[in-house]
Amino acid sequence: MKAPAIRSVACGFAALLSFAALAQTPPDLTDLVGARGSSGETQMQARGYELIRASKTSGTSWTFWWNDARHACVSVSTVDGRYASLQKVPAANCSTSPSGNSGDDMGSAPEALTLVCYGEGVHSTYEPRHSSGYNPDTKKTESSVKMESAQEHFRTTVTLEVGPQGGRIQLEGKMVPPMHDKAVDGWWPLSDVHFDDDAITGKYHMNFVSKPTIQVDRHTGVLTIKGTQNFSGKCEKSTGGRKF
């Protein structure tokens, strides 16, 4: 008699996961996921996006596009010649000013530091598995649903703003669990922010079980996030020089 309730919970949880996956791509660009790079660029321009800058790390090409009409900055990752992901990111990521050096020129304790980090995230996915079997207590064949987990790798961008008074972190798409604390324009506050000669560390709160930690290696410019959603990526300084 408990199987229908279990099935309802499982389907609802799966729906939340599907919604989170879809939320990472702007609605006007969802059809470009999987498009060839050259075709994708043509379509981006046709839809009012201007290419701001490009970078490459670990076999992935990253481009940042600005749409003036939508007041939107979008990061695009290209793998094996095809668009792998398109994500809306903070407008500061579409700055036209030089980004500066990453890692070794971050200063000892800057008044304000904005880092744009692009790399690979990892999170757990859950899929319902349906089965049936004979229940000797009820003497009936009953159905059941069990959730099975797996690790999914994905490409994404993370933005940090840190300083002596604390900081905040901006996350997109699959870096945000289905159940999470409310963010302010996609930003979550950082706590216990600490600077030393080698690293910048801190943590943030997503929900009652997810309290990830962050660490930026100040020599290599690599950001590492450890939690229910993990991340490792190369960071660049953003000066926010473009005035929109």
The answer, yes or no, to whether residue 107 has pLDDT greater than 50, is no
Instruction: Give the separation between CA 207 and CA 144, rounded to whole angstroms.
Output: 29
Lowest-pLDDT choice from 18-27, 31-40, 88-97, 153-162? 18-27
The answer, yes or no, to whether residue 213 has pLDDT greater than 90, is yes
Instruction: Catalogue the E-assigned strands of the chain.
Output: 49-57, 60-67, 72-79, 82-89, 113-135, 140-163, 166-170, 187-195, 199-203, 213-217, 222-226, 229-237
Contacts with 108 (C-beta within 8 Å, 6 or more apart), sequence order: 195, 197
Name the band, by pLDDT with cuts 50, 70 and 90, for residue 199.
very high
Q: Look over the chain and give the mean of its residue pLDDT values, rounded to a whole number.
A: 78
Structural domain boundaries of the chain?
3-125+151-237
pTM over the 0.85 mark: no
- pLDDT number for residue 230: 93
